[in-house]
Structure 1
Amino acid sequence: MPRDSTPLTRALDDATRGNQHDVYGVLAAWDQSIETALERGGGTRFREVMRQYLDEVIDLVDAAVATEAEGIDWECLQECVDTYPPGVGDHHCSSVVANVVARCVIRTRVRDGADAIPTWALEYLADVTMDDDGEWAWESTGAFGWAVGHSEVAVLDRTLERAESGDESWVMGVLKHVTFADPDAGVDLLDRLLQSPDVVEDLLFVDRLGPVEETGFPEFPQFWDPETELEYDVDLSDDVYERLLAVVGDSIHPDRLRRFDDSYRIDLRRAADDYGPAGEDA
């Protein structure tokens, strides 16, 4: 066994599933082992440790803060967030904590509604960065979109602001999650993005709405099968789909839509033909 992972394997062996006290020791050992892996083996060894242990560490933390019988212990999860905050770059625990926060945000939205999600959890997701927290953590932050409709956090406004400031990659993830949570709101957000003069992308945003017709949940956060614990179906009604086509047809040149029709799951050609500006034919 490589020495860099010894503290972590010991902590995992000693931990009891569901025991919150053990979570803090596992997170500390994870942080130490990842740092040692980077120092001794660089990026290659770092990725090896991540792939070997990340799933197990996330599962242990998740089991301690969220149970079917007692629900989510937000206080415990907030202690983890306070100990390992986002955007600071001095620890390696965001890949674990962000994943669990994202799961709990989605669970809460589905079971209790948007307003039951603590605002601090949403601010945490919004503050995670690729540079300071890493790709594994950043991929989970799209779950911010599940809070759409929250009375204290203006999800659509905040997302548009991030797009207009150049953070379009983050916005794509949020747009996808918004659409899974509320397809009508997803179309609203897409419309605002496409109409903004400060937003560059167009079809890449449109593509984020396609998978809603195929599955009930996005692919992130990783290592989680929400279908096994949550009863949820996305209802992309015919009216919402037609409004989506209308937004796309009104915002993107018909020549561009027809050109890329075969590459997207949404019927771009019909958007151009039925809803594009009159007189702008290919």
Structure 2
Amino acid sequence: MSHECDDCGESFNTLTRLRLHDCGDVQSETFSTSSEPNRSDSGYSSPTEERNASVAELDNLLDRFSDGDIDALHCAVVEFESALSAALEEDNSGDTYRDVFWPYHERVSDALNEAARSEGWSFLADVTKAHDPAQDDEIPLVTPAVANAVGRHLIRTRLTDGVKAISVAALEYLDAIAVNAPDTADSAREEVHAYGWGIDHPAHSVTDRLHARTSEDIFSVNPTLEHAFYADQYAAVDLLEELVRDESIDGTLPRVTRDDMPYRRYLLDCVYGLKTDDHWPGMPRYYNWHEEFDYTFELDETVEQRIRELVEETGFGADLPNDWTFRDLGV
């Protein structure tokens, strides 16, 4: 599928290439001021020059957003993509990419979160459409930052207004990342874990989506299910039972000194912290949702009993001590 620039008419195979191209007919003030001072006399910009220009303009745009220019943030996300793309071209080792990604991942994520809090889901909806993880062969490089903000918005919406208030588009976006991101896209895949807060949504079945990809995506499903317990422990334990009892989920985790661990046993790791007050899911990054909402969690006795019975029923308690706790289920 080709994508055409509305200004110059040039076609591109991917949306990322479309977003990053230099349009000869119409060039915004934002991009013209960032690129011209760094171009060589020949008109060619090296990846290093492109990265430096994009990083400088990214700083400028984030400052403008901090000063109240909400539209500057849309440009900042595009500039972040450009800086990351140039960093990839510049250095095959990945060091330059990481030097750009990590400092600005937090800044862009925080800015998007701030915009979502003031403007609502509609702002993030526009961003997710412009940087759609399902459109290209490769997901946009800014996906982790966008997913981080979407995850924060999803959690906040669930805790303040309930599951029905969560936008289906927000859930579809996070699920699309889980489906389309390669295994090597660790940061993007980790930011998807907040998808679990959509469990029991009336118009989007998180349960069905997670079940469908458990065998191929166990390392994403497990922490997502952990999040789901904090959203709705009764719906989450229903799903846990469904998954652990499903013998078609027959993958295993290799272990050096012991027998391989069945995926179904590994799923029980998601309850590791439910009986403690010092362990919370680590995603989304830079966001302590339990502190923001002074959130407390108490595992219902009937849910605890169902988990214990599930462990014994499936034989996964055979190697546990007689007085095992949920922490003994950790991997």
TM-score grouping bracket, smaller chain normalisation: 0.7 to 0.9
The answer to whether residue 94 in structure 2 is matched with residue 32 in structure 1 is no
1:107 corresponds in structure 2 to: 156
Based on CA coordinates, which of the two structures has the bigger radius of gyration? 2
The answer to whether residue 274 in structure 2 is matched with residue 219 in structure 1 is no
State how far apart, in whole Å, the 2-side matches of 1:74 and 1:24 are: 14
State how far apart, in whole Å, the 1-side matches of 2:69 and 2:241 are: 46
Check 1:81–1:132 CA distance in 2 against 1; reply closer, same or farther (3 A cut). farther
Check 1:24–1:210 CA distance in 2 against 1; reply closer, same or farther (3 A cut). same
Identity over aligned pairs, percent: 27
Query: Residue 192 of structure 1: CA displacement?
Result: 0.8
1:238 corresponds in structure 2 to: 301
Match of 1:82 among 107, 110, 129: 129
Aligned length: 260
**Residue deviations 1:128-160, cap 9 Å, x none?**
033299322211212111111211112212211
**Residue deviations 1:151-178, cap 9 Å, x none?**
11122122111114x2222211221111
Check 1:11–1:192 CA distance in 2 against 1; reply closer, same or farther (3 A cut). same
Q: 1:60-79 alignment to 2 at 5 Å?
A: 60-67=111-118, 73-79=120-126
Check 1:58–1:224 CA distance in 2 against 1; reply closer, same or farther (3 A cut). same
Check 1:13–1:19 CA distance in 2 against 1; reply closer, same or farther (3 A cut). closer
Unaligned runs of 5+ in 1: 269-282
The answer to whether residue 96 in structure 2 is matched with residue 49 in structure 1 is no
Query: Residue 50 of structure 1: CA displacement?
Result: 1.5
Check 1:213–1:231 CA distance in 2 against 1; reply closer, same or farther (3 A cut). same
State how far apart, in whole Å, the 1-side matches of 2:232 and 2:223 are: 14
Query: Residue 267 of structure 1: CA displacement?
Result: 6.8
Q: Does the Cα contact within 8 Å between 2:147 and 2:188 map onto a contact in 1? A: yes
Query: Residue 29 of structure 1: CA displacement?
Result: 1.0
State how far apart, in whole Å, the 1-side matches of 2:228 and 2:139 are: 31
State how far apart, in whole Å, the 2-side matches of 1:60 and 1:17 are: 12
Q: Does the Cα contact within 8 Å between 1:86 and 1:132 map onto a contact in 2? A: no
Q: Does the Cα contact within 8 Å between 1:202 and 1:252 map onto a contact in 2? A: no
Check 1:179–1:13 CA distance in 2 against 1; reply closer, same or farther (3 A cut). same
TM-score, length-normalised on structure 2? 0.72
State how far apart, in whole Å, the 1-side matches of 2:129 and 2:77 are: 13
State how far apart, in whole Å, the 1-side matches of 2:249 and 2:182 are: 22
In terms of fraction of residues, the more helix-rich structure is 1
Q: Does the Cα contact within 8 Å between 1:175 and 1:186 map onto a contact in 2? A: yes
Q: Does the Cα contact within 8 Å between 1:95 and 1:133 map onto a contact in 2? A: no
Unaligned runs of 5+ in 2: 1-47, 251-262
Following TM superposition, where does structure 1 have runs of at least 4 consecutive aligned residues deviating by more than 3 angstroms? Answer: 256-259
Check 1:210–1:19 CA distance in 2 against 1; reply closer, same or farther (3 A cut). farther
2:174 corresponds in structure 1 to: 125
TM-score, length-normalised on structure 1? 0.84
